[in-house]
């Protein structure tokens, strides 16, 4: 709970723009922790950061919070507030995802569009761009997960819609103007030259839903592959004589990885191992569906009925279908179950994902000159409010 909240108001727009934020404990984002820190905001940027400040000496127009961190970043979220982006690729759906994620501490999201027939992803890209143009804060771009996957590792994706990427797809994706575009694909299923074209265009490419061998990942990494989507899930596993995608990522000094810390997708010990091996490259993601901050306990994905039971989303065969978890809950989980220090858990939702997207010079840390985006937390790491580029959302 906040100690005190006194805001500077823009009454015409009914928006809240604090000039200062006071943190009893400040997680800078790079592993550094400061106590009794006062953060000043000017023109939606961090302009001053001082620690060791008495609560009695703070300005009147200051938000105070037990714990403050850089604005959380979710690289993979499929839906929220009863809306699934793949089913409804609209501005309203994007906004629902932003609001649902924000309730769990996410300042920024990549709305995720999953496998659909043909080039329906173009409609999703247009919706994200329209939402950005409408001034909805917190949309970094879009995550396209499929249809360019391996039919051997479909997960819950509709297998009949999975296909290789064509040159026409490359041209459409290169013309996107959503900002950051992250594409999950199976590199072993794509033609020569596809990866290079995407990466040369500034598109972030992760491997996922893939049967890739270590040789495939080594080759893809040499071309600019950036990471892997939902590590351990829907991918080739590590064995005695073949590292697979899992082993290749864990052994790589350069590849990032998202991981779903909900207690259903990955064993806690495996997440702990990944955190120890990749403290600067592991990113917590929610992979959440429309049930997040919603009322639905059943819904459909490509004709399959999905049910929410005890925090777990599955079809009738028990196949996992995304997740039902907020980003602050992921943070709490890895601290409690995976022996991850709080400062590292915070890094896994701030600086690590920002760096994975190439945005570390603007996001992911509370540092002079960077965007003034913060997640305000209780001592138990429960989100109380989010500040996005100087604007406070509660």
Taking the domains of the chain in order of start, what are their residue ranges?
9-70+365-393, 72-356
Q: For residue 164, give the DSSP letter.
A: P
- Using alpha carbons, select from 72, 71, 55, 52 the residue that is nearest to residue 63: 55
pLDDT digits over 353-385, tens only? Answer: 999 999 999 999 999 999 999 999 999 999 999
Is residue 163's pLDDT more than 60? yes
So what's the pLDDT on residue 356? 98
**pTM, rounded to two decimals:** 0.96
Is residue 315's pLDDT more than 50? yes
pLDDT digits over 91-118, tens only? Answer: 999 999 999 999 999 999 999 999 999 9
Query: Rounded to 5 degrees, what angle do the CA atoms 83, 86, 90 make?
Result: 65
Q: Do domains 9-70+365-393 and 72-356 have the same CATH topology?
A: no
Is residue 14's pLDDT more than 80? no
Cis amide prior to 197 (ω within 30 degrees) = no
- Span 271-275, mean pLDDT? 98
- Using alpha carbons, select from 109, 28, 100, 97 the residue that is nearest to residue 357: 109
Q: Alpha-carbon distance 75 to 144, whole Å?
A: 11
- Span 152-167, mean pLDDT? 96
Q: Alpha-carbon distance 207 to 34, whole Å?
A: 36
Backbone dihedral angles phi then psi of residue 152, each to the nearest 5 degrees:
-80, -15
Mean pLDDT computed over every residue of the chain: 95
For residue 376 the two structure tokens come to 């305000």
Q: For residue 115, give the DSSP letter.
A: -
Report helix angle 268-277 to 327-337, nearest 10: 90
Count of alpha carbons within 13 angstroms of residue 330, beta-carbon side: 34
Name the percent of the chain in helix, strand, coil, to the closest 5: 25, 30, 45
Backbone dihedral angles phi then psi of residue 52, each to the nearest 5 degrees:
70, 30
Q: Which CATH architecture has domain 9-70+365-393?
A: Roll (2.30)
The dihedral region occupied by 323, where left means phi > 0, alpha psi between -120 and 50, and beta the remainder, is beta
- Span 266-270, mean pLDDT? 98
Exactly one of 119, 287, 328, 339 is catalytic; name it. Answer: 287
In the numeric block, the tokens 């917590």 are attached to 284
Mark whether 57 is an active-site residue.
no
Report helix angle 121-133 to 91-103, nearest 10: 70
So what's the pLDDT on residue 15? 84
Query: Rounded to 5 degrees, what angle do the CA atoms 177, 355, 131 make?
Result: 30
Question: What's the CATH number for 72-356?
Answer: 3.20.20.140
């Amino acid at each position: 709970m906040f100690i005190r909240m006194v805001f500077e108001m823009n009454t015409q727009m009914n928006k809240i723009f604090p000039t200062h934020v006071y943190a009893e404990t400040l997680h800078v984002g790079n592993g550094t922790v400061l106590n009794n820190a006062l953060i000043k905001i000017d023109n939606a940027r961090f302009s001053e950061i001082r620690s060791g400040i008495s609560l009695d000496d703070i300005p009147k127009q200051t938000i105070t919070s037990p714990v403050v961190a850089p604005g959380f970043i979710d690289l993979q979220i499929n839906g929220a507030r009863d809306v699934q982006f793949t089913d409804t690729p609209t501005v309203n759906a994007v906004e629902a995802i932003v609001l649902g994620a924000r309730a769990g501490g996410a300042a920024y999201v990549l709305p995720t569009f999953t496998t659909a027939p043909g080039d329906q992803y173009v409609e999703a890209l247009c919706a994200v761009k329209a939402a950005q143009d409408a001034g909805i804060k917190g949309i970094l771009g879009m995550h396209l997960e499929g249809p360019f996957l391996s039919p051997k590792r479909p997960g819950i994706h509709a297998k009949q819609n999975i296909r290789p990427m064509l040159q026409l797809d490359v041209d459409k994706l290169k013309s996107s103007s959503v900002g950051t575009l992250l594409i999950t694909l199976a590199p072993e299923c794509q033609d020569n030259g596809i990866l290079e074209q995407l990466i040369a265009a500034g598109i972030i490419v992760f491997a996922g839903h893939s049967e890739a061998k270590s040789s495939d990942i080594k080759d893809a990494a040499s071309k600019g592959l950036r990471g892997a989507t939902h590590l351990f899930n829907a991918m080739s596993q590590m064995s005695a004589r073949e590292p697979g995608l899992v082993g290749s990522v864990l052994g790589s000094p350069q590849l990032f990885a998202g991981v779903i810390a909900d207690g259903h997708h990955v064993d806690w010990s495996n997440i702990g191992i990944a955190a120890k091996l990749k403290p600067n490259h592991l990113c917590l993601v929610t992979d959440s569906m429309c049930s997040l901050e919603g009322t639905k306990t059943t819904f459909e994905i490509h004709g399959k009925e999905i049910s929410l039971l005890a925090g777990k989303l599955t079809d009738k065969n028990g196949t996992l279908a995304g997740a039902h978890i907020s980003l602050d809950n992921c943070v709490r989980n890895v601290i409690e179950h995976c022996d991850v220090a709080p400062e590292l858990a915070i890094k896994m939702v701030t600086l690590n994902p920002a760096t994975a997207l190439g945005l570390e010079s603007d996001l992911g840390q509370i540092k002079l000159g960077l965007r003034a985006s913060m997640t305000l937390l209780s001592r138990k790491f429960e989100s109380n409010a989010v500040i996005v580029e100087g604007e406070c959302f509660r």
